[in-house]
Amino acid sequence: MHFTKDSLNLDPALETERIVKFLQQNVRQTMRRGAVVGISGGIDSAVVFALSVRAFGPNKVVAVMMPDKDSDKLSEQLARELAKKFGVEPMLEDITGALQGFDCYRRRDEAIAHVFPEYNADKGYKAKIVLPQDLLDNATLNVFSVTIVRPDGSEETKPLPARDMLQIIAATNLKQRSRMSTLYYHAEARQFSVMGTANKNEHDQGFFVKYGDGGVDIQPIAHLFKSQIYQLAKHLGVPEGIQKRPPTTDTYSAPQNQEEFFFRLPYATLDQIWFAKENNVPAPEAARVIGLTAEQVQRVYDDITRKIRTTDFLRLLPPQLEASHTL
Closest Cα to residue 52, out of 75, 80, 27, 31?
A: 27
Quote the CA–CA distance of 121 and 126 in Å, as a whole number: 6
Nearer to other proteins, 32 or 264 (CB): 264
Binding window for other proteins (CB under 8 A); candidates: 4-12, 33-41, 101-109, 160-168: 160-168
Q: Which of 162, 316, 317, 327 binds other proteins (CB under 8 A)?
A: 162
Backbone angles phi, psi at 91, to 5 degrees: -105, 140
- DSSP for 16-79? HHHHHHHHHHHHHHTT--SEEEE--SSHHHHHHHHHHHHHH-GGGEEEEE---TTS-HHHHHHH
Q: How remote is the C-alpha of 182 from its chain's centroid?
A: 17
Q: Which of 1, 141, 317, 327 binds other proteins (CB under 8 A)?
A: 141
Quote the CA–CA distance of 87 and 237 in Å, as a whole number: 13
Q: Which of 97, 151, 159, 284 binds other proteins (CB under 8 A)?
A: 159
| Cβ atoms of residues 286 and 3 within 8 Å | yes
314 near other proteins, judged by CB under 8 A: no
306 near other proteins, judged by CB under 8 A: yes
Q: Which of 139, 289, 294, 314 binds other proteins (CB under 8 A)?
A: 139
Which of positions 164-193 make contact with other proteins (CB under 8 A)? 165-166
The alpha carbon dihedral of 243, 245, 248, 251 has a sign of negative
Q: What would the x/- binding string for other proteins be over residues 11 to 50, using CB under 8 A?
A: ----------------------------------------
Quote the CA–CA distance of 294 and 318 in Å, as a whole number: 39
140 near other proteins, judged by CB under 8 A: yes
- Residue 313's H or E segment, with its range, is helix 312-315
Binding window for other proteins (CB under 8 A); candidates: 76-84, 118-126, 184-192, 304-312: 304-312
- DSSP for 123-189? GT-EEEEE--S-TTT-------EEEEE-TTS-EEEEE--HHHHHHHHHHHHHHHHHHHHHHHHHHHT
Q: How far is the CB of 257 from other proteins (least distance, A)?
A: 19
Q: Which of 74, 92, 143, 189 binds other proteins (CB under 8 A)?
A: 143
CA distances (Å), 325 to each of 318, 319, 320, 321, in order?
A: 21, 18, 15, 11
Q: How remote is the C-alpha of 278 from its chain's centroid?
A: 21
132 near other proteins, judged by CB under 8 A: yes
Size of the site for other proteins (CB under 8 A): 19
Q: Which of 26, 96, 120, 145 binds other proteins (CB under 8 A)?
A: 145
Q: How far is the CB of 302 from other proteins (least distance, A)?
A: 8
309 near other proteins, judged by CB under 8 A: yes
Nearer to other proteins, 73 or 309 (CB): 309
Binding window for other proteins (CB under 8 A); candidates: 104-112, 161-169, 272-280, 290-298: 161-169
Q: Which of 142, 181, 191, 279 binds other proteins (CB under 8 A)?
A: 142
Q: How far is the CB of 263 from other proteins (least distance, A)?
A: 14
| Cβ atoms of residues 44 and 258 within 8 Å | no
Q: How far is the CB of 298 from other proteins (least distance, A)?
A: 11
Binding positions for other proteins, rule: CB under 8 A: 132, 138-145, 159-162, 165-166, 302, 306, 309-310
